[in-house]
Amino acid sequence: MSTTSAPTQNQIEPARPSLRVDREITFRAVVILAFLAIVMFLLPSVLGSDWIKTFTSVAIYSVVALGLGILYGRVGMISLGQIGLLAIGTWTATRLNYAFHLPFPVLLLLTGAITCVIGTLIGLPALRLSGLYLALITLMAAGAVNIILSAINFPNGGGGFTGHTTAVDLSGLAPVRRPAGAAGDTAYYRYVVVVCALMFLLALVHLATKAGRAWASIRESEPSALASGVNITLYKMWAFALASFMTGIAGGLLASQLGQPTIYGFPIQDSLTLLAVVLIGGIYSLWGAVIAGSFMQLVPFIFQAEWNVNANFLLIIFGAGLLQVLLTAPGGLADQVPKDLAKLWRFISGPLRRGAPA
């Protein structure tokens, strides 16, 4: 960036936009790095163990929200089955954990790959269906997954495909392993944050390249995308594969976070709540996914454990927030808050500037 050399009058005009883009990217990178630094180093040093466990869940659910954000916000394909997919990921990771002694990253990747295949299969109807019908079929798939997993139970060290034993004495059963060197809650929290940051990076890379452009054109108008030569089948399936892979990784992380997961951690209601918080957080922004993860895990914790307020209030707030987003603020909080802050700043700084000498 040689911005110090004295430019001639002609050079100034074209140079400005690129300078601005550079500044914006630098600013964003600084914000993201500062955010990660606070999340990884400041939070564990000031917060207790319960908070750290909650923040681990926030990071995991942010990735689930990110998956839904890509599907609905970027490609325009709705899915109400993401919590069902998360349950599949968690089940798979638990099963693999008791069946083999794989290194943790391999286990995670394998879980991601298996969930990716299942999620893509569930997403196949998206090639034919859209809008309301796609929402319904994914909700129904999630409901069916929920019932199947309730019937076969989560693995608890038994044999066979399901890995579930009804033995009464499970005292010798070790919980799902955590990565080597990250057995403690704080160490595991940092590990989870790093993996989740990688997932966000993966999403960012997709959005900034060919796939992101193809998705945008599909979202705007499928016939025009088709006419301009976008392979709709490929890119739709790609989006489902990516979202499912991410959700699978999140499931793998969740299995180790919970230790002994059960189906009760994945009620159908959560699929609806997830959609609400993702829309409230901001479906068109990656920050929206972080906000959604916080709404899903951190806010209930604060309500219940810290303020002793009935967490059901949150559902009422989510419902009202969802109506608000649908009717007046389609960009959600991630879009609305900066705008409102800028307005507020203009409101405050306006009189000051007017008062200043010209």
Partner 1 sequence: MHSLVGFAILGVDWQELKPFIVLGLALGGAYALSGVGIVVLYQTTGVLNVAFGAVGAAGALIAYWMIHHTSLSQWIAYLVCILFGGVVNLVYGVIFGPAFAKRDPLVKMMGTLALALILLGTMGWRAPAGGAFVRFLTLPTTNHRYEIFGASVSLTQIIALVFALVLTAATTAFLRYTSLGTAYRAVANDREISATLGVPVRRVEASAWFGSGLVCGCAGLLLADLYTSLDYSALTFLVISSLAAALIGRLRSLWATLAGGLTVGLVQGLLTPYGRVTEYRAATPFVLSIIALLWLSRTRVVTISRTAQ
Positions touching partner 1 (CB under 8 A) are: 78, 125, 128-129, 131-133, 135-137, 139-141, 143-144, 147-148, 150-151, 221-223, 226, 268-269, 272-273, 275-276, 279, 310, 312-320, 322-323, 326-327
Q: Crossing angle of helices 131-152/268-281, nearest 10°?
A: 140
Q: Evaluate whether 216 touches 208 at the Cβ level (below 8 Å).
A: no
CA atoms within 13 A on the CB side of 75: 34
Please give the structure tokens belonging to residue 353: 């500037």
Q: How far is the CB of 245 from partner 1 (least distance, A)?
A: 23
Q: How far is the CB of 151 from partner 1 (least distance, A)?
A: 4
Q: How far is the CB of 257 from partner 1 (least distance, A)?
A: 24
Nearer CB in complex with partner 1: 43/124: 124
Helices (H), 38-152: 43-46, 49-68, 82-99, 104-123, 131-152
Q: Evaluate whether 81 touches 240 at the Cβ level (below 8 Å).
A: no
Nearer CB in complex with partner 1: 112/163: 163
CA-to-CA distance for 350 and 334, rounded, in angstroms?
A: 25
Nearer CB in complex with partner 1: 64/193: 64
Nearer CB in complex with partner 1: 11/221: 221
Q: How far is the CB of 286 from partner 1 (least distance, A)?
A: 22
- Encode burial over 272-294: b for 16+ CB neighbours within 10 A, e otherwise: bbbbbbbbbbbbebbbbbbbbbb
Nearer CB in complex with partner 1: 199/276: 276
Torsion of CA 36, 73, 295, 195, to 10 degrees: -40
Closest listed residue to residue 255, CA positions, set 94, 95, 111, 112: 94
CA-to-CA distance for 290 and 275, rounded, in angstroms?
A: 14
Q: How far is the CB of 303 from partner 1 (least distance, A)?
A: 12
Nearer CB in complex with partner 1: 38/316: 316
Q: How far is the CB of 218 from partner 1 (least distance, A)?
A: 12
CA-to-CA distance for 8 and 291, rounded, in angstroms?
A: 46
Q: How far is the CB of 223 from partner 1 (least distance, A)?
A: 5
Nearer CB in complex with partner 1: 153/336: 153
Burial bucket for residue 60 (CB in 10 Å: 0-12, 13-18, 19+): buried
CA-to-CA distance for 271 and 88, rounded, in angstroms?
A: 14
Nearer CB in complex with partner 1: 193/283: 283
Q: How far is the CB of 219 from partner 1 (least distance, A)?
A: 13
